[in-house]
């Protein structure tokens, strides 16, 4: 029998982590969680998660930062919003999952080569460069970055897409790409200044 440790130690807490997450827009109601487990019950993916959504809520509130950010749970959330709609305390659990994903990407604490964060980053990069997503090209980039062998497993699907005329090889893009870049830079710059301000 494998013996695993489930006790959490005070020393593993990163003081202030819970507060930081609760400061993200939409995440403030986490404090009122009553640990009823309705979120875990409605979540279609909780059975695959290292920590159920209810456990994630408790761990965040108790400042167990590393445990939360390294867990596959936040990446398995498909944003179906079942938990958010069902939560009796009106906690926006899906938005908290987003806040945690952002933190994990920011700090690089997600499982390396795990395809979901790679997809998110590649997606964002394509939008910033082109203004639009061309799904087939995005998926091919993802395969190259995360798991090139997966291309071989998907050949039937590729053929199917070609047969049905859905395999798009020319990159869609907007006309005013410079406008998009200026807009994002301006929005980001201001945020930097606010952060630096005393």
Partner 1 sequence: MTYNYFPGCSLKGLGRAYEESLLPVMRHLGVELAELDDWNCCGATAYMSVDERMACVLAARNLALAEKAGPQDLVTPCSACYLVLNKTKHYIRDSPDMSAAVGRGLGAVGLKYSGNTAVRHPLDVLVHDVGLDVIKEKVVRPLKGLKVAPYYGCQVVRPYATFDDAWNPTTMDRLLKTLGAEVVHYPLKTKCCGASLTGTVPEAGLRLTYILLKEAVRRGADVIATICPLCQFNLDAYHDLVERRWGPARIPTVYFTQLMGLAFGMPAKQLGLGRCFVPMKPLPEVPAPA
Which residues of the chain form contacts with partner 1 (CB under 8 A)? 24-26, 44-45, 48, 76, 78-82, 84-85, 94, 98-99, 101-102, 105, 115-117, 119-121, 123-124, 127, 131-136, 139, 142, 156-157, 160-161, 164-166, 168, 172, 174-176, 179-180, 182-191
Nearer to partner 1, 8 or 176 (CB): 176
Q: Is residue 82 within 8 Å of 38, Cβ to Cβ?
A: no
Nearer to partner 1, 20 or 135 (CB): 135
Q: Which residues contact 61 (CB under 8 A, 6 or more apart)?
A: 18, 30, 31, 33
The tokens of 3 are what? 């013996």
Q: Tell me the Cα Rg of the chain.
A: 20
Three-point CA angle 102, 107, 108, nearest 5°:
95
| CB 151, min distance to partner 1, A | 12
Q: Is residue 14 within 8 Å of 66, Cβ to Cβ?
A: yes
| CB 11, min distance to partner 1, A | 30
Nearer to partner 1, 15 or 156 (CB): 156
| CB 29, min distance to partner 1, A | 12
The tokens of 11 are what? 């020393």
| CB 23, min distance to partner 1, A | 10
Three-point CA angle 106, 58, 87, nearest 5°:
100
Nearer to partner 1, 13 or 154 (CB): 154
């Amino acid at each position: 029998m494998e013996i695993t440790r489930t006790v959490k130690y005070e020393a593993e807490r990163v003081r202030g982590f819970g507060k930081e997450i609760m400061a993200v827009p939409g995440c403030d109601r986490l404090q009122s969680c009553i640990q009823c487990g309705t979120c875990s019950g409605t979540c279609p993916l909780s059975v695959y998660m290292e920590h159920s959504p209810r456990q994630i809520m408790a761990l965040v509130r108790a400042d167990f930062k590393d445990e939360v950010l390294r867990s596959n749970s936040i990446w398995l959330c498909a944003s179906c919003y079942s938990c958010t709609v069902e939560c009796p305390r009106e906690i926006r659990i899906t938005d908290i999952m987003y806040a945690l994903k952002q933190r994990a990407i920011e700090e690089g604490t997600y499982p390396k080569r795990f395809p979901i964060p790679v997809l998110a980053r590649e997606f964002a990069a394509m939008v910033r460069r082109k203004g639009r997503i061309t799904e087939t090209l995005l998926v091919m980039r993802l395969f190259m970055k995360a798991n090139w062998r997966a291309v071989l497993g998907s050949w039937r699907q590729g053929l199917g897409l070609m047969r049905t005329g859905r395999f798009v090889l020319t990159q869609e893009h907007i006309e005013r790409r410079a406008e998009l870049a200026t807009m994002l830079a301006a929005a980001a710059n201001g945020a930097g200044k606010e952060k630096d301000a005393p």
